[in-house]
Amino acid sequence: MTAPKKLFIKTYGCQMNVYDSERMAEALGGQGYIETQNADDADMILLNTCHIREKAAEKVYSELGRFKGLKAENPDLKIGVAGCVAQAEGEEIMRRQPLVDLVVGPQSYHRLPEMEARTRTGEKALDTDFPEEDKFEKLKSWPKAARGPTAFLTVQEGCDKFCAFCVVPYTRGAEVSRPADRILTEARDLVERGVREITLLGQNVNAYHGAGPGGDLTLAQLIWELDKIDGLARIRFTTSHPNDMADDLIEAHGTCSKLMPYLHLPVQSGSDHILKRMNRSHTADSYLRLIERIRTARPDILLSGDFIVGFPEETEADFQATLDLIEEVGYGYAYSFKYSTRPGTPAAERPQVEEDVKSDRLQRLQALITHQQRAVQDSMIDKEISVLFEKPGRQEGQMGGKSEYLHAVHVANAKVNVGDIRKVRVIGSGTNSLSGKLV
């Protein structure tokens, strides 16, 4: 028997890439690969990349440069680039970095086994098609490994919204929903392998409209189907667009006990002028009214959002409107970014905001968010929350997990197992986590 080949995967970007990396490891598992955490002893290195901001894309080239030495030591080492940079810059990657053997876009990774075989004969392999066949179905499942208690499950991919700043519609293609039965089969399989919490993923997950037995299912209908799976305790979904927050989904937040009280609902800006220029098709006010309806359905829901500062033409008054919106919502988490020019997107051609203005705004916005996050976290003290334990903490006897609101929680001297869900009273609030004790 030959020794298994070793695969090192490094994942950048969003959770969809995390899910894809798992699937790619399974696909290459069929080729005799096992995963390693160490690039130094790998036979294949795969970078699963992100193109969303310039820095993310540039990182790939600097990372690739670092593999030169490894390739010199081991000429059989194969280097592959997957994900959104692969999709956007496929051939350019091969040109800029000759040590790359393989480039595979996010819609083609079910073809990896055959591409890998080609690289073994000394060829280069590039595939950035948007093929007709369902990549999820084509993937061989490598021997089913036991799983941790939480898992991602991609249900929808791509985007038709074309926000003026964003590359996703170009790198991930048009919006496609997976059929419900395949998702449910995958979910049952995950639960059999020990998963207790599933996060449904999609670039616009709430636009889900996958085929079901009696016609297309909405995301809420899919959630209710998942709700029937014994052993599955928690359901989450991300990322949602405000315009696709359907009534049945809002209602499910109030009535489906397995659906966790957490919602990531990016708004990007609080200025109607900027929202319009971003092609977001919602206003600050329609967003705020939506939040109100969601909170009526589920008053304790924790909200998170994404913000872009320094979008072309953003004035100080526009930026102030974003701060005002943040004040009004009260986010439990928020992710904020300086606008990054992406070639090929409409906003790239417009007059840009100066870098130091962007930096200043980002700093101010983050100060407000940090303050808010901390206030939300501190308000949890003395409350009883439910924690899904995921792994031992850093200190002896300590266990860590996540609350229904997605706060990281540590419990000292916790006699619980990974995968247990227990009531915990919050006794402290740290920088990025809560501490508690079992009730």
Would you count residue 168 as binding ligand F3S (CB under 6 A)? yes
What is the rounded CA–CA span in Å between residue 243 and residue 160?
Answer: 12
Site for ligand SAH in 185-204 (CB under 6 A): 203-204
Which tokens sit at 144? 């089913």
Which tokens sit at 180? 């419900």
Beta bridge partners of 102: 80, 125
Closest CA to 148 of 222, 198, 201: 198
Would you count residue 264 as binding ligand F3S (CB under 6 A)? no
Strand bridging mode 302-309 / 262-264 = parallel
Site for ligand F3S in 67-86 (CB under 6 A): 83-84
Question: 183-205 as b/e, with b when 16 or more CB fall inside 10 Å?
Answer: bbebbbebbeebbbbbbbbbbbb
State yes or no: 14 annotated in a binding site: yes
What is the rounded CA–CA span in Å between residue 334 and residue 359?
Answer: 17
Would you count residue 159 as binding ligand SF4 (CB under 6 A)? yes
Q: Which one, 166 or 220, has the nearer CB to ligand SF4?
A: 166
- Residue 142 binds what, of ligand F3S, ligand SF4, ligand SAH, none (CB under 5 to 8 Å, by partner type)? none
Would you count residue 304 as binding ligand SAH (CB under 6 A)? no
Would you count residue 168 as binding ligand SAH (CB under 6 A)? yes
Helix (H) / strand (E) element for 93: namely helix 83-96
Q: Which of helix, strand or coil describes residue 394? A: coil
Q: Which of helix, strand or coil describes residue 417? A: coil
State yes or no: 166 annotated in a binding site: yes
Would you count residue 271 as binding ligand SF4 (CB under 6 A)? no
Contacts of 289 (CB under 8 A, 6+ apart): none
Q: Which stretch binds ligand SAH (CB under 6 A): 33-41, 76-84, 128-136, 336-344?
A: 336-344
CB of 81 to ligand F3S, least distance (A): 12
Chain residue whose CB lies nearest ligand SAH: 306
| Identified binder of ligand F3S from the candidate list 110, 111, 172, 264, rule CB under 6 A | 172
Would you count residue 165 as binding ligand SAH (CB under 6 A)? yes
Closest CA to 376 of 346, 402, 406: 406
| Identified binder of ligand SAH from the candidate list 6, 23, 51, 53, rule CB under 6 A | 53
- Write the burial class of residue 147 (CB in 10 Å: 0-12 exposed, 13-18 middle, 19+ buried): middle
Q: Which residues are annotated as a binding site for [4Fe-4S] cluster?
A: 14, 50, 84, 159, 163, 166
Which residues contribute to the site for ligand SAH (CB under 6 A)? 52-53, 165-166, 168, 203-204, 239, 241, 266, 268, 306, 308, 337, 339-340, 342
Which residues contribute to the site for ligand SF4 (CB under 6 A)? 159, 161-163, 166, 168-169, 203-204, 241
